[in-house]
Amino acid sequence: MKQAHRLDLAPTTKAPDLTSLQKNTTLGMNKKTFDKFLARDVCCSHCGTTDDTLIPQHRKNRGMGGSKKLDRPSNIIVLCSEANGLLESNSKFAELGRKFGWKLERWQEPESTPVYMGNGWFLLDNDYNTRRVEHDIDYF
């Protein structure tokens, strides 16, 4: 009988290299394209980090093997890997993400839905630009 593989979580286990984690989770983008998102967004909209855990987040989900049409700049923001994971796995955090425009419903269009980016509300266009907007929100 084969023995199942298991993840050894002993204290001596080396943490994954975050630089390679980032490189492997950039939605298949090349570095030049990802750098355009980093230049526009500067930091994680959730926590403000600028470290190498930043990865792209689709605001409007593509779904498994979904449309490349949703890979446009207005639909992608940069978040830390923790916030990205929570948006996909935690319903309360996903609700917060919808309030801040980090996660959109299917009927919402990224170009016309404001996103909170740490220092205010912005509309994103498909040329990697932002435009500050006034936006009232019922936070909680």
**How confident is the model at residue 102, as a pLDDT?**
96
Averaged pLDDT of the chain: 79
Question: Is 7 inside any structural domain?
Answer: no
Sign for the CA dihedral angle at 25, 44, 105, 35 comes to negative
**How confident is the model at residue 63, as a pLDDT?**
61
Question: Is 49 inside any structural domain?
Answer: yes
Question: Is 5 inside any structural domain?
Answer: no
For residue 25, pLDDT beyond 50: no
**How confident is the model at residue 24, as a pLDDT?**
45
Domain holding 113, by residue range, is: 18-133
Question: Is 8 inside any structural domain?
Answer: no
Question: Is 140 inside any structural domain?
Answer: no
When divided into structural domains, the chain yields a total of 1
Average pLDDT of the residues in 9-22: 40
Q: Which band of pLDDT confidence, cut at 50, 70 and 90, is reported for residue 97?
A: very high
Question: Is 99 inside any structural domain?
Answer: yes
Question: Is 9 inside any structural domain?
Answer: no
Question: Is 105 inside any structural domain?
Answer: yes
